[in-house]
Amino acid sequence: MYRYDEFDQTLVDERVAQFRDQTQRFLAGQLDEEEFKTLRLRNGLYLQRFAPMLRVSIPYGLLASRQLRMLAHIARRYDKGYGHFTTRQNIQYNWPKLEEVPDILADLASVEMHAIQTSGNCIRNITSDHLAGVARDELVDPRPYCELTRQWATFHPEFNWLPRKFKIAFSSSTRDRAATQVHDIGVHIVRNDAGELGYSIYVGGGLGRMPMIGHKIREFLPELDLISYLEAVLRIYNRLGRRDNIHRARVKVLVKATGPEQFARMVEAEWNALKDSNLRLQPQDIEDIKSRFELPQYDEAAAGEPGYAKQLAVDSRFASWARRNLAPHRVSGYSIVFVSLKANGIAPGDITAEQMDAVADLADRYSAGEIRATHDQNLVLADVADRDVYAVWQRLSELGLATPNIGLLTDLICCPGLDFCSLANASSISVAQEIFDRFDDLDYQHDIGEIKMKMSGCMNGCGHHTVGHIGILGVDKKGEEWYQITLGGSAEDDASLGDRTGPSVSRADIAGAVQKIVEVYLEQRSDAEESFLATYRRVGMPPFKARLYDSAETPAEALA
């Protein structure tokens, strides 16, 4: 866990005082809506359908137990008793009172947290692999590099008024778990042929109404050049990105207009002028940041101790959970535990204050006092000794946080849709609920295997629908809720945008449509090992389309 130094703390405390003053002036009528808007958007505060919405930053998804307890306190004291984890490893509160937001920010600051740069046209929260530091397929721990980038990006005087928001994600593993190729910049930590550490840089990915996969603009950037190179990319974007049209303002549109090769050349020219400046990192800078991370102390004896194998044989519920919700840890004798926030009847990503407190207790007792937020809207206890896994499962089960569905159909990503969001065309949470009900049989889900379903209530794409194996997008047709389906998207190394199946499907038919898609997959897969995505890529759209739009099964008026 990174610990603030005096400078970090002063920065955050001063910001709270500023925002308190700004809010008081707004409430006293000394600032109008427009003037206040630019100020609140610097602090993660949106005005939404029913109430303000506050987005709190969780840098690269890492939380200490005391921070999670504070998030629980905020949910209880200032909201309706729960919070909502997002796809960018942040948490949102949907019901704070405007006049209490400065108090919330002060509470956050007391545990080294804030809501700075979680909205507005600036560099947003830096995200990363939720298995950073513990994954077996990891090259090096990406978090010190994320932290360096966070410090560079925080209140950067030149990049606080970009043409549009800017998102950066890091991955250092063989498997990309951070959706880096759908970020404005994706950084892959790699080694070159000479064994030196550095980065491959992707630019111009993004979701929203113009979804695009990022382009690799540099194969290898040496380790010490990270910040100077990011600065060069941001300078080009800040200078040339469009400001005349909000829908054409993201860097992906600029990269598309120039072409990735030309964009890369412009960055290279800019970087040549910068790379020997004081933006070049010194080895000591990286060591200093690393030294501010408190890392878990592993118990070497844990490897030799009996794990949970015995319980697997005698407790089938535990075995089914272990199969889906555990991942191997790089240290033998330890496991990574996924805490599922996808229980039937609960909006995906929602968690109550009591659950947060209890997970914080579990982290203290069994997992080095730390919790991670994943971009799939779940939590992770990353450092659980095998001997403790059964006890952790028992407690998670009591808490309703042990649905054994990680990576399965009901582990779906879903945005707030019509329930909270003023931009929504259609509900997403209630559709997620119907899908839950329809696929409630976990054996059936296990048989279907890994499937990433992602759902958004409008084309802004907060629910990542375009990169879902099955994507669902809410659209408005003459005041009615309809849903467009896409198949074959992916946000991992083989990133791709999904293909539209055809005309949209009505609210009444959407859950049935998902069922048909799953049935076609089960019929078409070569064997139980062939995943949904692999099957789709092999057989293509025709069999799915035929079943979905089979007029014998689907009333004609449902298609439009």
Residues that bind ligand HEM (CB under 6 A): 46, 48, 53, 86-88, 92, 164, 167, 206-208, 250, 415-416, 420-421, 423, 460-462, 464
53 binds, among ligand SF4, ligand HEM, none (CB under 5 to 8 A by kind): ligand HEM
Report, in Å, the least distance between residue 118 CB and ligand HEM: 10
Instruction: Take residue 133 and report the two structure tokens written for it.
Output: 């530091």
Given a contact cutoff of 8 angstroms between Cβ atoms, the answer to whether 153 and 117 are in contact is: yes
Q: What minimum distance in Å lies between the beta carbon of 300 and ligand SF4?
A: 46
Nearer to ligand SF4, 463 or 488 (CB): 463
From CA 95, how far away is CA 162, in angstroms rounded?
A: 29
Pick the closest to residue 110 from 69, 148, 78, 75 (CA basis).
69
The residue type found at 359 is V
274-298: b or e for each residue (b if 16 or more CB lie within 10 Å)? bbeeebbbeeebbeebbeeeeebeb
The residue whose two tokens read 């909000």 is 246
- Residue 457: name its binding partner from ligand HEM, ligand SF4, none (Cβ under 5 to 8 Å by kind): ligand SF4
Which is closer to ligand SF4, CB of 146 or CB of 458?
A: 458
233 contact, one of ligand SF4, ligand HEM, none, CB 5-8 Å limit per kind = none
- CA pair distance 469, 393, nearest whole angstrom: 29
Between 1 and 473, name the residue whose CB sits nearer to ligand SF4.
473
The two structure tokens encoding residue 77 = 């004291």
Q: 208 or 468: whose CB is closer to ligand HEM?
A: 208
8 A C-beta contact, residue 358 and residue 399: yes
| CB 373, min distance to ligand HEM, A | 11
Q: Contact positions toward ligand SF4, by CB under 6 A?
A: 415-417, 421, 423-424, 456-458, 460-463
The partner in contact with residue 308, picked from ligand HEM, ligand SF4, none with C-beta cut-offs of 5 to 8 angstroms by kind, is: none
Measured CA to CA, the distance from residue 172 to residue 527 in angstroms comes to: 32
Q: Toward ligand HEM, which CB reaches closer, 289 or 467?
A: 467
- Residue 68 CA to residue 336 CA, distance in Å, equals 18
Sign of the CA dihedral 317, 178, 361, 101?
Answer: negative
Give the pair of three-digit tokens for residue 559.
């298609």
Which tokens belong to 178? 């951070």
Q: How far is the CB of 423 from ligand SF4 (least distance, A)?
A: 4
The C-alpha angle with vertex 112 and arms to 106 and 115, in degrees rounded to 5, equals 60
Give, in degrees to the nearest 5, the angle at Cα 313 between 307 and 314. Answer: 105
Q: Which CB atom, from 208 or from 404, has the smaller least distance to ligand HEM?
A: 208
The values of phi and psi at residue 124, to 5°, are -85, -175
From the CB of 46, what's the least distance to ligand HEM, in Å? 6
CB 394, min distance to ligand HEM, A: 30
Q: Which does 22 bind (CB under 5 to 8 A by kind): ligand SF4, ligand HEM, none?
A: none
Given ligand HEM, ligand SF4, none, residue 417, with its beta carbon under 5 to 8 Å by kind, binds ligand SF4
Q: Which does 46 bind (CB under 5 to 8 A by kind): ligand SF4, ligand HEM, none?
A: ligand HEM
Q: How far is the CB of 87 from ligand SF4 (least distance, A)?
A: 10
Six token digits for residue 423: 């931009």
Instruction: Give least dist CB 375 to ligand SF4, A.
Output: 15
Residue 88 interacts with, from ligand SF4, ligand HEM, none (CB under 5-8 Å by kind) = ligand HEM
Residue whose beta carbon is closest to ligand HEM: 208
Dihedral angle, C-alpha 281, 285, 286, 289, nearest 10 °: -140
Q: Which is nearer to ligand SF4, 84 or 324 (CB)?
A: 84
394 binds, among ligand HEM, ligand SF4, none (CB under 5 to 8 A by kind): none
Collect all residues with Cβ–Cβ distance below 8 Å to 318 and sequence separation of at least 6.
Answer: 308, 311, 312, 390, 393
Comparing CB distances to ligand SF4, the nearer of 59 and 461 is 461
Tokens 């064997």 appear where? 527
The identity of residue 471, as a single letter, is: G
How near is the Cβ of 210 to ligand HEM at its closest, in Å? Answer: 7
Which of 346, 401 has the CB closer to ligand SF4? 346
Minimal distance in Å, beta carbon 459 to ligand SF4?
7
